[in-house]
Amino acid sequence: MIILKSRDEIEKMRAAGKVVAAALAEIMENVVPGVTTRDIDQMAEEVILAHGAVPSFKGYRGYPATACIAINDEVVHGIPGARVLEEGDIAGIDIGAILAGYQGDSAVTIPVGKVSPEAERLIKVTREALFAGIRAAKIGNRLSDIGHAVQQHAEKFGYSVVRDLVGHGIGRDMHEDPQVPNYGRPGRGPKLQEGMTLAIEPMVNMGGPEVVSLSDGWTIVTADRSLSAHFEHTVAITKSGPDILTLRKGETYP
Ligand code: MF3
Ligand code: CO
């Protein structure tokens, strides 16, 4: 069952989204070669708590940290720890926060120092694929139009989208209906309606779409160990179009 949100609830989600956006902005300024993934996790937690919010991932099904940090061939759900980021790495940082009962969820992939042109392009195209999906999140379309737009964009560049993990509805709960795949044929699934709030989160691989999970029970990596990038925004569907609730200050988009 898809839970539609009132305008007031969307404003509450925007408040939570702003906290997530502030945490990601702080991290984006401070990720340099030499920082550990634990340092990044601490930055995230400090910003979230300073805003009177709570990290939503911590404790979720036993997840032990505030951020998920996925480096290079890691796709999502990497657990922060002692690993030191090195020049040329790409780091996907996913953060969720709860403020006054409502959730925000967003992710970016950040180049660490100078990265290869190939990695840079993967990051750029994955972010563009997210915004292609967001543009399709409008009244009059159906759910699968979002994934179709994401897939079209990513595949145009020879990349593949991960199918085993999907985006999701979001609201009072981090994961609500519907699931939001990043692939598919257009014109399928529920009609998009005013008040739907979705976390759209393409994961794009340089090689094949297959993923495997590591023995820590969380980290997902590409099966062929190719590079992977991940971007996510929480978006409300409104009469005036998609409203990005986790947009960062000064963030511009295609
Ligand atoms: N953004 C991810 C998601 O939507 C984060 C969940 S990670 C977990 O599923 F640790 F909380 F499980
Ligand atoms: Co999410």
Burial class (CB in 10 A: 0-12, 13-18, 19+), 178: middle
Question: Distance between CA 244 and CA 40 in Å, rounded?
Answer: 24
Q: Is residue 252 part of a domain?
A: no
Instruction: Determine the pLDDT at residue 67.
Output: 99
- Averaged pLDDT score across all residues of the chain: 98
Does residue 253 fall inside a structural domain? no
Give percent of the chain above pLDDT 90. Answer: 100
Structure tokens at 214: 């590591």
The CA 236 to ligand 1 mean position distance, Å, reads 19
Q: Would 254 be classed as within a structural domain?
A: no
Ligand 1: residue whose CA is nearest its atom 2: 94
In this prediction, residue 11 has a pLDDT band, given cuts at 50, 70 and 90, of very high
pLDDT at 253: 95
Local confidence band at 43 (pLDDT 50, 70, 90 cut-offs) = very high
Helices (H) and strands (E) in the chain, counts: 4, 15
Q: How far is Cα 98 from Cα 119, in angstroms, rounded to an integer? A: 32
- Nearest atom (ligand 1) to Cα of 168: 4
Q: Would you state the structure tokens that stand for residue 191, as one six-digit string?
A: 């009609």
Q: Are 237 and 212 in contact (CB under 8 A)?
A: no
CATH (domain of 80): 3.90.230.10
pLDDT tier at 32 (50, 70, 90 boundaries)? very high
The pLDDT-based confidence of 198 (bands split at 50, 70, 90) is very high
Residue 251 lies in a domain: no
* pLDDT value of position 7: 98
pLDDT of residue 118: 98
Atom of ligand 1 nearest to the CA of 167: 4
User: Around 8, how many Cα atoms within 13 Å sit in the side-chain half-sphere?
Assistant: 2
Give strand ranges (E) for 134-219.
160-161, 167-169, 176-180, 197-200, 203-205, 211-213
Instruction: Please report the pLDDT score of residue 84 as a whole number.
Output: 98
pLDDT band for 2, please (50, 70, 90 cuts).
very high
pLDDT tens digits, 62-121:
999 999 999 999 999 999 999 999 999 999 999 999 999 999 999 999 999 999 999 999
For atom 8 of ligand 1, which residue has the closest CA? 57
pLDDT above 70: percentage of residues in the chain? 100
Shortest-distance Cα residue to atom 6 of ligand 1: 57
Q: What is the reported pTM?
A: 0.98
Q: Is residue 249 part of a domain?
A: no
Interval between CA 165 and ligand 1 midpoint (Å) = 10
Cis peptide before 117 (omega within 30 of 0): no
Which residue has 């999502």 as its token pair? Answer: 76
* Domain extent for 233: 7-244
DSSP state of 192: P
The structural domain count of the chain equals 1
Q: Decide: 178 and 190 in contact? Cβ < 8 Å.
A: yes
